[in-house]
Amino acid sequence: PGEDFGRGWYAVFAPVIVLALPLYDLIVVSIIRISRGRSPFVGDTNHFSHRLVARGMSRRTAVLCLYLVTAATSVAAIILPHVRSTFAAMLIFAQTILVLGLVALLEQHPLPPSRSR
């Protein structure tokens, strides 16, 4: 049997993977605020959920999108401490980066018009 690669330093990354979306949001919101000459510590409506609603999503759909992204990264984080190979751990990290990349793409491309509101 191989070494359990999910223990040790890999396990440290599990919380980071669970918090991938909130960390992404924190970084993006801070960049937006600083680029506008505002304090990153003063609240506003630049968070991911607000940006999705501003782009045309309903509040419910925006929240469901957040749940889906968080679920995708959370499942990866739950699996991470149990992997037994570096390759499997790398796949988990790649999946997390891919999910965040899809989030970034969602923010960049226009949403299709809603059929019903």
Average pLDDT value for the chain: 83
User: Do residues 104 and 98 lie in contact, with contact meaning Cβ atoms separated by under 8 Å?
Assistant: no
Dump pLDDT digits (tens) for 44-91: 988 999 988 988 889 999 999 999 999 999 988 888 877 778 888 888
User: Do residues 85 and 93 lie in contact, with contact meaning Cβ atoms separated by under 8 Å?
Assistant: no
User: Do residues 103 and 27 lie in contact, with contact meaning Cβ atoms separated by under 8 Å?
Assistant: no
- For residue 29, what are its two tokens? 């919101």
Residues 6+ apart with CB under 8 A from 74: 17, 18
Domain boundaries, the chain: 9-108
Model pTM greater than 0.85?
Answer: no
